[in-house]
Structure 1
Amino acid sequence: MAPRVLISDALSPAAVQIFKDRGIEVDFQPALGKDKDKLAEIIGNYDGLAIRSATKVTPKILENATRLKVVGRAGIGVDNVDIPAATAKGVIVMNTPFGNSITTAEHAIAMMFALAREIPAADASTQAGKWEKNRFMGVELTAKTLGVIGCGNIGSIVADRAVGLKMKVIAFDPFLSPERALDIGVEKVELDDLLARADIITLHTPLTDKTRNVLSAEALAKTKKGVRIINCARGGLVDEAALAAALDSGQVAGAAFDVFSAEPATENVLFGHPNVICTPHLGASTTEAQENVALQVAEQMSDYLLRGAISNAVNFPSITAEEAPKLKPFIELAEKLGSFAGQLTDTDIKTVRITYDGAVAGLKIKALTSAAVAGLLRPALQDVNVVSAPSIAKERGIVVEETTREIAGDYESLVTLTVVTEKMERSISGTVFADGRPRIVDIKGIKVDAEFAPSMLYVTNEDRPGFVGRFASLLGDAGINIATFALGRDRQGGDAIALVEVDGKVPAELLDKVQQIPSVKQAKPLVF
C-alpha cells in the first residue's frame, strides 16, 4: 500500500508534485493546520505530515496519529512540534535547515542597511512630502565592527556578506572552532568582548534555555554606547523591555527586529519607537526560499517513507539512502540482541556496552545503538521505540557505551551487547549472514549458532550426561514441538546453554518441570 502524506499548511504546489511523482498519495489541505480539532480527527489516516508554522503538532494530535511515521517541517524552526511527544511515539521529526539560510541572512543584511541609513523613516517622510534631507544622518558600514552571536549556518553567511562589505566581523559561538573562524574570516571572541567592541550586533542562534535573553538588561549595559541591534533569528533572544529602555537612554542607537517574543505580534514594547524597524517574521519569505524548503521537505519525507533514509531529523541520526538497506538487517539484529538481554534481565540496568567489530563498525552505529537499547528496555517498558530509546535510557540513568573495531574476527561483522546490573554482567553476540537474517553466535562466552524465532526457550545448565534426553522428553510429553535446537558449552562438564525454537507458547507448568531437572540453573521463555 502506498504511503499517504497530509500537507496541512500552504506549501508550494511543486512539493505536492514531488510526492505524486514518487508514488506517494498526497492530500493537500493548506487551511487544515489552523483547525486543530479537524486535524486531530483525520491524522490517523496518514503516514506523513508536511507542515510550515501554522500547524501545531501537539500531544493530542500525536495521540490520534496511529500510523504517523514522520513530520516534515518546511523551514528551520520546529517550535510548533512537541519533539518529546513525537519521539515517545517513534515519529521522526525533520526540518529543512538549509533551504532558507541565504534568504534569512540577506534579510539581516537588509535590516542592517535599513537601520544604518534610516530607510523606512526616510521613505515615510519623503512620501508624506516633507523632504527632510538634514534629518536623516546615517552611518557607513565600511570598517565598522559587526558582532555575530551564533555563527552556524545562517550566521556564517551573514559574516561572509559582511566581510564583503569591508566590515570587521567578530563572533561569539561556543561551537565555532578556531579553524572554521579562520576559514570564514571572523575573529572568535567571548560574549563580553563582543558586547564591548561591536558597533552592530546581529543574532543567529536558536532559542534555548542558554540563549534566552542572551541580550538581557545586564548584557545591554555592557555594550558600546550607540550600538545597533538586529534580530532575525528567534523572539526571546533579547529582553525587549530592557532594549526599549536602552533605546530611550541612547545606550542603543537603533534596533531592527523581524522576530518577537510573542507572535503574531500585534503589539509590542518596541513598536512605535522612532529608532526601531520591525518586519513580520519575513526572514524566510522569498519565492526562492519557500520553493526550496517545500521541495526539500517533500524529498526528505519521500526518501524516508519509501527507502528508510533519514536526513535533517531533529530526533534521530541521519541515514543515507545508500546506508538504509545495509543497515536494515543490522538494526533488526541489534534490536533482537537487546530484546534477548532485556527478557533475561530482572534487575535495574546500570550500563549497556555495545561493541561493533568488522564491517558493521563502518555503518551508522548511532541508529544501531538506538535499536539495541529499544529492544533492551521494551520488555520492562512496553512503549519504547527506536526513536525514543536513547532519551529514555538517559532519563533512567543508564550509561550507554559504544566501541568500534574495524578488524573482524571469525565473522565479517559482529555485534556484542553487554548488560551490567548490580548483580551480574551478561553478553550476547550476533551477526548477519549473507541471507540477511540475524543470528546469535555467542552467549556469555559460549559459542552457539541460532536464529531468532517467535517463540524460544533458553536454558542454562551444568554440562552433564542425560540432560538433553530428559529436557526433550519433557517438551514431547507436553505436546511442544521442537523446531530447532542449539547447544553450546564452555568446556566439558562446565556451563552449557540450550536455545530451543518451539512451536507455540511455553506453558508455565512446563517451565517448572524443566527447572526441576537437577543440572538446570535457569529456564526462561523468549519471544521475538
Structure 2
Amino acid sequence: MTKPKVLISDKMDPNAARIFEERGCEVDVKPGMTPDELKAVIGEYDGLAIRSATKVTRDILEAATSLKVIGRAGIGVDNVDIPAASSKGVVVMNTPFGNSITTAEHAIALLMALARQIPAADTQTQRGEWPKSAFMGVEVTGKTLGLIGAGNIGSIVASRALGLKMKVVAFDPFLTVERAIELGVEKVDLETLLARADFITLHTPLTDQTRNILSRENLGKTKKGVRIVNCARGGLIDEAALKDLLDSGHVAGAALDVFQTEPAKDSPLFGTPNFICTPHLGASTTEAQVNVALQVAEQMADYLVNGGVTNALNMPSLSAEEAPKLRPYMALAENLGSLVGQLAHGNLDKISIEREGHAAELSGKPITGAVLAGLMREYSDSVNMVNAPFLAKERGIDVREVRHDREGVYHTLVRVTVATEAGDRSVAGTLFGAGAPRLVEIFGVAIEADLKGNMLYIVNEDAPGFIGRIGTLLGQNGINIGTFHLGRRDAGGEAVLLLSVDQPIPDEVVKQACALEGVRMVKPLAF
C-alpha cells in the first residue's frame, strides 16, 4: 500500500515531520517556496501542512490533483481559499486551541506594559535620560477589566486578571450567567462594559457582527482614561478613531498586537503617545509553536491513514457508513442553525434540537453539531461541526437534544428552538424530494422555502399592495428576485416574506425597505 505523502511548506517544529513518519506518511519539508514553485510540486502530495506564510489560492488548488487535506498549524485560515478547497473535496483543518495560553499571556503582558508605560520608560532610560518623574503609572489591583469575548482565550485572560486582583466584567452573546459565575466574572451588556471598564481587552474573531465593535461611537462611550488591548484580530477597532481619542487623552493608552492591514507599515497610530504595538506576536512562544505543529501533524496523519476528522473547517466528523444518510440532514440542520443565528437577537442561553420521524432514527450528534456550527458561525469564522459543541459548552450554553418517536405532518422534521431575552424562537425544516432541505416554519409562521444564497427576511402587516411595493423597491435598485416565499399567522395580522435575490442587498436598500408602510422588520440573510 502506498504511503500518503505530505508536504510541510512553512517553518514548523521538526517533531511534526517525525509524527507524520511514525504514523505512516512520507513527508517532505520545503519551507520558503514561491507560489510558482509550490504550484509545480503540489500535485505530488496528499497533504499540505502550513502556517501563515503559504498562501493556498484557487490557482494552487487547481494544480493540487492529489491533495486530500490542508492542515493549518494555528487558528487563522485567511491564507486558505476554503470555498475552493471544498469544491475540490479537500478538507481544511486548523488547531484552534493550541496557542490560547500564549495569546492570553501576551494580552496580560501588554496590559501591564500600558499600566506602567514600560516601553517608553525603557527607551528614554536607555538613552541615558533617567526620566523617573516623567512616568506615573497606575495599579491594576482593584481596577475593572472589560472582556469583549469570553471564550477560550478570554476566559484565560479573566483567570489571570482575577489573580491580579482585578474585577472582571464580560460581554459575550454566548456567555451564560452560570458560566460567568464559574469564571468569576460579571456578565454585562456592551454599553455597561464600555461605561465601567478601566481596561478593555478583545478576544473575539472578526465577523460582520464584531467588525468595528470599538467604533468611534463606542469608543466615545468608554470611561475617560480607559486603556485598550487587542491581541485578537485587526478590524475590531476603528484605528483612526482610536488615534484621535489617544491624542485627546480620553483613551489613556492602547496596545495592539494586530492591525486592520498587516503587515502594518504606516499605521496612523505609529508614534502616538501612550501607544504600544507588537507585530502579531500573540502566538509567538516556543511552547505554542510546538503545540500547534504537533497537533496539526497528528490530525492530518489520522485523516490520511485512518479517515479520522478533527477540527475540520469544511467537513463534519463522519464515518464512511454514516455520511450518505446524514449528509442531507446536516445540510438542513446547518441552515436552520444559521437562520436562527442571523435572526435571533440578544444572548443565547439555551438551544433545543428536536428530531421526529425519520430524523429521529439517525445519530443525533452530527445533526446537533451541524446546527451549532450554523448558529455559531455567525459569531466566529473558525467554527465547524467538530468544535462547535465544545465552544457551546465552553460558553455555558445549555444544549438539549430531543428525539420524538411520533411522526407528524412531515415524514421527517428537525426543529431548532433558542431561548432569548425576547422569548423562545423556533424554526423547523424537512427534506423534500431527493433529500432537498426545506424550511417549513419560522417563529410560529408556516412557510415553505429553500435556504440558499442571498435572501431577505421581512416581517410586515398583512395588507394588500405590500408585495408590489417591495418588488418595486428592489427593482428600482437593480436587485433581481429569484423566489417569493410567503406565510402569515392570520388574515390581516403579521406576515412573513422570504425573498431569494441574486446579490447581497446594500444597507441603503435595507433602510428603504424598513421605511415601507407596514414593515416591522427587515433582515438580509446569507446561506
TM-score, normalised by the number of residues in structure 2: 0.64
* Partners of 1:289 and 1:29 in 2: CA distance: 21
**C-alpha displacement at 1:404, in angstroms?**
7.7
**C-alpha displacement at 1:315, in angstroms?**
1.9
Letter in 2 for 1:303: D
Change (3 A) 1:368 1:200: closer
**C-alpha displacement at 1:138, in angstroms?**
0.2
Post-superposition CA distance 1:481-515 (Å, at most 9, x none): xxxxxxxxxxxxxxxxxxxxxxxxxxxxxxxxxxx
Change (3 A) 1:147 1:21: same
Letter in 1 for 2:135: F
1:14-413 alignment runs, 5 A limit? 14-32=15-33, 35-317=34-316, 319=317, 327-332=319-324, 355-356=358-359, 360-361=362-363, 364-365=366-367, 405=403
Contact 1:361–1:404, Cα closer than 8 Å, also in 2: no
Letter in 1 for 2:281: L
Post-superposition CA distance 1:158-216 (Å, at most 9, x none): 01110111111011111112211111011111111111111011011111111111111
**Partner residue in 2 for 1:3:** 4
SS class of match (2:296)? helix
* Partners of 1:212 and 1:356 in 2: CA distance: 37
SS class of match (2:168)? strand
* Partners of 1:79 and 1:405 in 2: CA distance: 38
**C-alpha displacement at 1:26, in angstroms?**
0.8
1:482-497 alignment runs, 5 A limit? none
Change (3 A) 1:368 1:231: closer
Post-superposition CA distance 1:208-229 (Å, at most 9, x none): 1111111111111111011101
**C-alpha displacement at 1:41, in angstroms?**
2.1
**C-alpha displacement at 1:38, in angstroms?**
1.6
* Partners of 1:169 and 1:405 in 2: CA distance: 40
Letter in 1 for 2:23: R
**C-alpha displacement at 1:357, in angstroms?**
5.2
- Aligned pair count reads 366
Change (3 A) 1:133 1:23: same
SS class of match (2:147)? strand
Contact 1:334–1:368, Cα closer than 8 Å, also in 2: no
Identity %: 64
Change (3 A) 1:305 1:200: same
**C-alpha displacement at 1:335, in angstroms?**
6.9
**Partner residue in 2 for 1:517:** none
* Partners of 2:31 and 2:39 in 1: CA distance: 15
Contact 2:74–2:99, Cα closer than 8 Å, also in 1: yes
Contact 2:356–2:404, Cα closer than 8 Å, also in 1: no
Give the alignment's Cα RMSD to 1 decimal: 3.2
**C-alpha displacement at 1:246, in angstroms?**
0.6
Change (3 A) 1:368 1:290: closer
Letter in 2 for 1:149: I
* Partners of 1:255 and 1:15 in 2: CA distance: 37
SS class of match (1:111)? helix
Change (3 A) 1:210 1:419: closer
Greater length-normalized contact order (CA 8 Å, ≥ 6 residues apart): 2
* Partners of 2:76 and 2:247 in 1: CA distance: 32
Change (3 A) 1:419 1:353: farther
* Partners of 1:332 and 1:272 in 2: CA distance: 58
* Partners of 1:231 and 1:142 in 2: CA distance: 20
**Partner residue in 2 for 1:498:** none
Post-superposition CA distance 1:109-139 (Å, at most 9, x none): 0000000001111111111111111111000
Change (3 A) 1:121 1:93: same
**C-alpha displacement at 1:368, in angstroms?**
10
**Partner residue in 2 for 1:505:** none
Contact 1:59–1:82, Cα closer than 8 Å, also in 2: yes
**Partner residue in 1 for 2:432:** 420
Contact 2:329–2:367, Cα closer than 8 Å, also in 1: no
Post-superposition CA distance 1:262-301 (Å, at most 9, x none): 1111221111112111111110111000000000110111
Unmatched segments (≥5 aa) in structure 2: 331-354, 372-384, 386-400, 407-411, 415-428, 437-527
Letter in 1 for 2:4: P
* Partners of 1:273 and 1:337 in 2: CA distance: 54
**C-alpha displacement at 1:367, in angstroms?**
8.8
* Partners of 1:50 and 1:425 in 2: CA distance: 35
**C-alpha displacement at 1:361, in angstroms?**
2.6
* Partners of 1:330 and 1:415 in 2: CA distance: 19
**C-alpha displacement at 1:353, in angstroms?**
9.4
Between 1:115-124 and 1:88-97, the stretch displaced more is 88-97
**C-alpha displacement at 1:94, in angstroms?**
1.1
Unmatched segments (≥5 aa) in structure 1: 339-351, 370-386, 388-402, 409-413, 427-528
TM-score, normalised by the number of residues in structure 1: 0.64
Between 1:37-46 and 1:3-12, the stretch displaced more is 37-46
* Partners of 1:87 and 1:197 in 2: CA distance: 44
SS class of match (2:28)? strand
1:416-495 alignment runs, 5 A limit? 419-420=431-432
Letter in 1 for 2:175: L
**C-alpha displacement at 1:364, in angstroms?**
3.4
Letter in 2 for 1:355: H
SS class of match (2:358)? strand
Post-superposition CA distance 1:382-424 (Å, at most 9, x none): xxxxx9xxxxxxxxxxxxxxx985979xxxxx99998525xx9
